Amino acid sequence: MDIVLWVLVGGILGGAGYSYFSCNEGRGIMVSVVIGALGGLLGGQMLAPLFVAAGATAAPGDFDASALLFAAAAAAAFLVVGDLVYRRWRV
């Protein structure tokens, strides 16, 4: 369930970044949503376990708000880096 939320939050941030902040404007909204979703997935899956200690009573399937925040931060970082790469090299 957490993975779905990470991807959903990343996709929403990608759409908002495209609509409101003109991130990845030249590539289109779908690319922004995919970059955000990928950033959310990688942030929640790889970064959150590195920085967040699992609670002693937390079950593996429990919702973790800090992992969701890491997923959102990683999605935003992916969007910024993607926009910088596009503006610099038009890739």
pLDDT in tens, the chain (91 residues): 889 999 999 999 999 999 998 888 888 999 999 999 999 999 999 999 888 876 555 676 778 888 899 999 999 999 999 999 999 998 8
Give the per-residue pLDDT at 57: 55
Give the per-residue pLDDT at 30: 95
User: What span, in angstroms and rounded, lies between the C-alpha atoms of 84 and 91?
Assistant: 10
pTM to 2 decimal places: 0.90
Give the per-residue pLDDT at 23: 81
Residue found under tokens 């890739």? 91
Instruction: For residue 26, give both structure tokens.
Output: 């030249």
As a whole number of Å, the end-to-end CA separation of the chain is 33
Q: Using the 8-state DSSP alphabet, how is residue 89 labeled?
A: H
The count of residues in the chain is 91
